[in-house]
Amino acid sequence: MLKYRIISAFIGIPLLIGVSYLGGVYWQALVALLASLAMFEYLGMMRVKKLQPMVLPAYFIMAVLLFRGMFSSYLPVLFGAAFFLMIIAMLSGPDSTFDDLVFSFFGALYIGYTFAFAIELTTLANSFYHLLLVFILTWASDVGGYFFGMLWGKHKLAPLLSPGKTWEGALGAVLLTMAATLVFNQLIRIGSVNWLYALLLGLLASVAAQVGDLHESGMKRYFGVKDSGRAIPGHGGVLDRFDSFMLVLPVVYYFLVVFV
């Protein structure tokens, strides 16, 4: 398992950084692929729970949210898509339940809205460095949490969701992420923010990363699956690997919009 994790990281990390550097349609295509795979995994988990996902409406809503920047006002389109989803549920009659409707809509909202910030970030100046910042903060939080938890973890953080997570690991994730943000800000300036704002960004990013990780763990426990999928050898599915990244994206985006 460790061998596959290392190989996947060796291939995947340069690919992500390389395509984000190319930007434009290449980055948009990769983000769309990742979001589509995540949606596929989510709908598959619904089926394990004996739910009946509304596949086409869910993908359509996800796409509207993902590429919302293409619309002058995407809310009417989103309303139309949600209305279409309700019509499909109504016409399905007893074969479709309220749970099918709600879970299908939530999956599309969760995946489409968060991944969209990977595209929104490219509309800002120095977009490559900002995407690189998202990667670094996400990985720093994961690495800090893993090693601090392994070395000093004693007090369970959320045993019902993820028995391996500890408060010591959570603290380590925050500390390493804050340190990574300071180093990044020294090497590649995050606009004109000072070290206090850099620390704030590290704190917020790590909290978001850990919430994303625990949220996905909770989803897997609810649906009764070990991994969301098998798209990434050694790591599971796209949702398994990008759960933290998905919530760090909007944190970094809004931080840049407000403070830079």
pLDDT tens digits, one per residue of 156-202 = 999 888 888 999 999 999 999 999 999 999 998 887 789 999 999 99
Residue 236 is given by DSSP the state B
Position 2 scores a pLDDT of 52
Average pLDDT of span 92-108: 82
Q: Of 72-81, 84-93, 171-180, where does the model show the most confidence? A: 171-180
Listed as own residue / partner, the contacts of 158-167 with beta carbons closer than 8 Å and 24 or more positions apart are 158/214, 158/217, 160/221, 161/214, 161/217, 161/218, 161/221, 162/213, 162/214, 162/217, 165/210, 165/213, 165/214
Question: Over the chain, what is the mean pLDDT?
Answer: 90
- State the pTM of this model: 0.91
Position 248 scores a pLDDT of 98
- pLDDT tens digits for 28-67? 999 999 999 999 999 999 999 999 998 988 998 899 899 9
Q: Name the pLDDT band for 18 (thresholds 50, 70, 90).
A: very high
Number of domains in the chain: 1
How many whole angstroms separate alpha carbon 45 and alpha carbon 34? 17
Position 88 scores a pLDDT of 75
In degrees to the nearest 10, what's the CA dihedral of 22, 26, 30, 32? Answer: 130
- pLDDT tens digits for 217-228? 999 999 999 999
Judge whether 41 and 106 are in contact, CB under 8 Å: no
Q: Name the pLDDT band for 4 (thresholds 50, 70, 90).
A: low
Which domain does 70 fall in, by range?
2-259
DSSP-based three-state secondary structure for 232: strand
Residue 98 vs residue 152, higher pLDDT: 152
How many whole angstroms separate alpha carbon 113 and alpha carbon 107? 10
